[in-house]
Structure 1
């Protein structure tokens, strides 16, 4: 079972050196904000980004949005300062990029106490080592698929159906679920391609991902809508739970709904969906609060 039931339909990357973007993120309906010190920040702007992020986080105002700091890779020149900042800020998690082994997770775990850890899986070695990475720390919360880097490393092509990535995405998802972790799908490159974005989201849902990383505010609504349970799905889930309770009260081990058999596994998934819908309702109600 997942370690946490928390809405992560949309996780927005925000460049750490952009104060206006950090300010605007306080008003956006995303479930999580990825405060980025890595790819979105030029080498000469890393220190500015740290200061800007520190000021924004300490000022608060992000409501119920999950704040996750994406640091630079543990072998980079910037990692030490990034991890020091992570240990000092009241963020909800630290996202480690390009993780390829358990050592990177344990390194961050030792330097950043009492904070949830996330791993980006975005290289062939990272994909193949994902099962071991997933068990590296009790504080590990989820995997984020780095699909752009992975496409590059595979020498694959960006195609609409993402066929070259499906094996990797499935392996990432399998490893995440084996360890009870969240699994977040990668970004969609086409900012002027809403139909393609929605198709990628639907594919992510069908594969089993919990949400999607996004780079533009205009895509948040679609990610929330597609990765969130529909009212019809929640109603069906409640029907399943009720039918199961009635069957159990009669001493039966299975129930029937509309000619379909319902077992414990269906009830477990139905209850997860109901709990997620409840969490989403609470998150959305608090989303515009001006305090973190």
Structure 2
């Protein structure tokens, strides 16, 4: 993720067919919201949900939270109309389900342009099929509107014929391919959901795993999950303090004409300083976002 980018520690799905949920979302501490027209909406409610979500985006009041509208797929009767109406409302992004190729991104980008989406309206891709994971790099590099990946781990488990396990070993290859593609193209990459929303410790463990793999944050299915995701995916106070000491020690070593420094008995080289500076800037960005909420 770019150093000065908006954080995506917590990305909360909100059902697009429920006006009260769309209103409540304006008060939640999530970094981003996915206003969902796909899985969370029954077929008979989809046209009405499309209008509710578009009107909510147009009305605003979501502060610094990023707004992503997840549309229905191209293989449905609602997909193209969803993209057109959502694009006209000018959210931060359109989230496409089950992306499997660069052609899916190109098709969406053309529809968005025809609907008058501003240049700031980006595309995000749900990476939730085996073909999508195998094509991750081609998808990631396919279009300048593309900003991020969201992992759809429930669909991946289904399509793989795998099992949900606490260590997520059945998904490691798929997660890794998507992360590699995203990072190679400089995209944001957000981990899949944790289904047991009342299991706080299980959620924390899943967030820690995702953070340690390199994800920018986690998609969530319940507001009660926000605090843990925000905590885990933010740099800790100790980590920021260490990063500042690493930068300072390296600068002092450089001034002495030395190429490395030592902090807490560990070598600090330029690559460590790059990582330290990125962590410090991420912490500062999060602090600024929270102070403005």
Equivalence for 1:35: 35
Find the aligned partners of 1:249 and 1:31 in 2 and give their Cα distance: 39
Aligned to 2:148: 142
Residue of structure 2 in register with 1:253 after alignment: 259
Query: Which stretches in structure 2 are left out of the alignment for 5+ residues?
Result: 114-118
Q: Is 1:12–1:217's contact at 8 Å kept on the other side of the alignment?
A: yes
**Match in the other structure for 1:102:** 102
Q: Distance in 2 between matches of 1:101 and 1:185?
A: 20
The CA RMSD over aligned residues, in Å, is 1.3
Decide which of 119, 122, 126 is 2:132's aligned counterpart.
126
Unpaired stretches in structure 1, ≥5 consecutive residues = 288-292
Is 1:212 aligned to residue 218 of structure 2? yes
Matched, 1:191 2:197: yes
Give the aligned partner of residue 153 of structure 1. Answer: 159
Q: Secondary structure at the match of 2:14?
A: strand
Tell me the residue number matched to 2:116.
none
SS at structure 2 position matched to 1:112: helix
TM-score, normalised by the number of residues in structure 2: 0.95
Change in CA separation of 1:282 and 1:3 when aligned onto 2, cut-off 3 Å: closer
Shift in alpha-carbon separation, 1:97–1:4, aligned structure 2, 3 A: farther
The alignment of Structure 1 onto Structure 2 pairs a total of residues equal to 287
Residue 155 of structure 1, CA deviation: 0.5
Residue 5 (structure 2) aligns with: 5
Per the TM alignment, residue 141 of structure 1 is displaced from its structure 2 partner at its CA by 1.0
Contact kept in structure 1, 2:244 and 2:276, CA below 8 Å: yes
Counterpart of 1:87 in structure 2 is 87
**Residue pair 2:4, 2:285 contacting (<8 A) in 1 also:** no
Question: Partners in 1 of 2:152 and 2:268 — Cα distance?
Answer: 37
What are the superposed Cα offsets for residues 70-90 of structure 1, whole Å, 9 maximum, x if unpaired?
111123211111111122112
Aligned equivalents of 1:70, 1:176: Cα separation in 2:
19
For residue 283 of structure 1, report the CA deviation from its aligned partner: 1.1
**SS of match in other structure, 1:213:** strand
Q: Report the Cα distance in structure 2 between the residues aligned to 1:143 and 1:58, rounded to whole angstroms.
A: 24
| Alignment CA distance shift 1:4-1:176 (3 Å) | farther
1:3 Cα deviation (Å)?
7.9
The superposition leaves residues 133-181 of structure 1 with CA deviations (integer Å, 9 ceiling, x where unpaired) of 0100122111111000000000111111111111111111111111111
Kindly report structure 1 stretches of 4+ aligned residues shifted beyond 4 Å.
none
